[in-house]
Chains A and B, each alone.
Chain A
Amino acid sequence: DAGVIQSPRHEVTEMGQEVTLRCKPISGHDYLFWYRQTMMRGLELLIYFNNNVPIDDSGMPEDRFSAKMPNASFSTLKIQPSEPRDSAVYFCASRHRFDSPLHFGNGTRLTVT
Chain B
Amino acid sequence: DAKTTQPPSMDCAEGRAANLPCNHSTISGNEYVYWYRQIHSQGPQYIIHGLKNNETNEMASLIITEDRKSSTLILPHATLRDTAVYYCIVRSRDNQGGKLIFGQGTELSVKP
Contacts and interface: CB of A to CB of B under 8 A. Distances in A.
B35 to A, nearest CB: 10
Contacts of A93: 43-44
Interface string A38-60: 00001101001010000110000
Q: What's the dominant secondary structure at chain A's contact region?
A: strand
A42 B104 contact: yes
Contacts of A43: 44, 87, 102
Interface stretch (B21-29, B64-72, B90-98): B90-98
9 contacts: A33-B99, A42-B103, A48-B97, A48-B99, A98-B95, A99-B93, A99-B98, A104-B44, A107-B43
Interface string B68-112: 000000000000000000010000010111111111110000000
A98 B44 contact: no
Contacts of B96: 98
A104 B44 CA distance: 6
Interface residues of B, number: 22
Q: Looking at chain A, what size class is its interface with the partner chain?
A: 20 to 34
Interface of A: 4, 31, 33, 35, 42-43, 45, 48, 50, 55-56, 91, 93, 95, 97-107
A91 to B, nearest CB: 5
A103 B46 CA distance: 7
B95 A104 contact: no
A32 B90 CA distance: 19
Given A42-B102, A42-B104, A43-B102, A31 B97 contact: yes
A102 B46 contact: yes
Contacts of B98: 31, 95, 97-100, 102
